[in-house]
Copies of this chain bind each other. A is one copy, B any other.
Amino acid sequence: MAHAGSPRDSRRPRRTDAARNAESLLAAARELFDERGPDVPLDEVARRAGVGNATLYRHFPTRRDLIVAVYADEVTALCDQGAALIEAESPGEALFTWLDDFVVHVATKRALALAGTDDDDQRRTALFDDWHRSMRSTADRLLARARRAGAVDAGLSVDDLLALTSGAAIAATGADDARRLLRIMRHGFTGDQGSAGFVG
C-alpha cells in the first residue's frame, strides 16, 4: 500500500547514527506535540531528542515535514482500513464507515493540520497537501463503488467529498462532533432520506 510521508528513499544506505537521530527526533516530536501542541519550538524537539538543532533541519527541513513524518503511520493505517472496506457487502456503508474514521482522524489532528499551513500556500492545510494523495485514492475507490450501487449522488466528486468532509472535521469541536456533522452532511440540510430506498 503506497502511503504519503515515508521519508528517505535514497539509494545508498544511511549512516546508523543518522537513522537513530531521525528516530529520536520523531519520538521527541510525537511526545511534545501531545504535551504542548503543534507550535512547540523546534529547538526543544531537538533538545529532547538529544541532538543539535541543525540536525533536526537536516532531517526535516520544515515543521510540516516533521508533522507529516510523525503521523505517517496513522495515515497508512487509515488507507489500509479503506482497502479492507472495499470488499464490504454494502458499498454505501463501506464508504461512510471509512469517512467516519477519516473525520475522527482529521478532527483529532486538527491543530496540527492548521499549524502545517505554509506561508506561500495558504490555501491548503498540511493534511490536504501531503496526505491527500493516498487519502484521495482510497476515497476514490470507495466512492466509485458506492456510486455504482446508487448510494451516493452520481455527480459527487472525490475532491468535493473530501473537501466537505475534512472541512466539517476542522470546524468541529472534537471527534464526536465531527462524526455527528458527517451524518448530517450525508443526507443534507433538507433532511430528505427518501427516494433512494434500500440500495447497496
- Interface segment, one of A7-15, A78-86, A157-165: A157-165
With A163-B172, A171-B163 given, is the CB distance from A187 to B188 under 8 Å? yes
Chain B residue, CB-CB nearest to A123? B173
Determine if A27 is an interface residue (Cβ-Cβ < 8 Å).
Answer: no
Complex interface residues of chain A between 133 and 171 (CB less than 8 A to chain B): 151-156, 160-161, 163-164, 166-171
CB-defined contacts of A72 to chain B, threshold 8 Å: none
Determine if A88 is an interface residue (Cβ-Cβ < 8 Å).
Answer: no
Q: Is there an interface contact between B153 and A190, defined as CB atoms closer than 8 Å?
A: yes
Q: Is there an interface contact between B122 and A152, defined as CB atoms closer than 8 Å?
A: no
The answer, among B114, B180, B185, for a CB contact under 8 Å with A185, is B185
CB-defined contacts of A156 to chain B, threshold 8 Å: 184, 189, 191
Determine if A1 is an interface residue (Cβ-Cβ < 8 Å).
Answer: no
Per-position binary interface string of chain A over residues 4-40, scored 1 when its CB falls under 8 Å from any chain B CB and 0 otherwise: 0000000000000000000000000000000001010
With A151-B190, A189-B161 given, is the CB distance from A171 to B166 under 8 Å? yes
Chain B residue, CB-CB nearest to A128? B171
Determine if A192 is an interface residue (Cβ-Cβ < 8 Å).
Answer: yes
Determine if A54 is an interface residue (Cβ-Cβ < 8 Å).
Answer: no
Per-position binary interface string of chain A over residues 63-97, scored 1 when its CB falls under 8 Å from any chain B CB and 0 otherwise: 00000000000000000000000000000000000
Q: Is there an interface contact between B114 and A152, defined as CB atoms closer than 8 Å?
A: no
CB-defined contacts of A154 to chain B, threshold 8 Å: 191
Q: How far is the CA of A196 from the CA of B190 in the complex (A)?
A: 8
The answer, among B111, B177, B180, B185, for a CB contact under 8 Å with A188, is B185
Q: Is there an interface contact between A190 and B187, defined as CB atoms closer than 8 Å?
A: yes
Binding site for B on A (CB under 8 A): 37, 39, 110-111, 114, 117, 119, 122-123, 128, 151-156, 160-161, 163-164, 166-174, 177, 180-181, 184-196
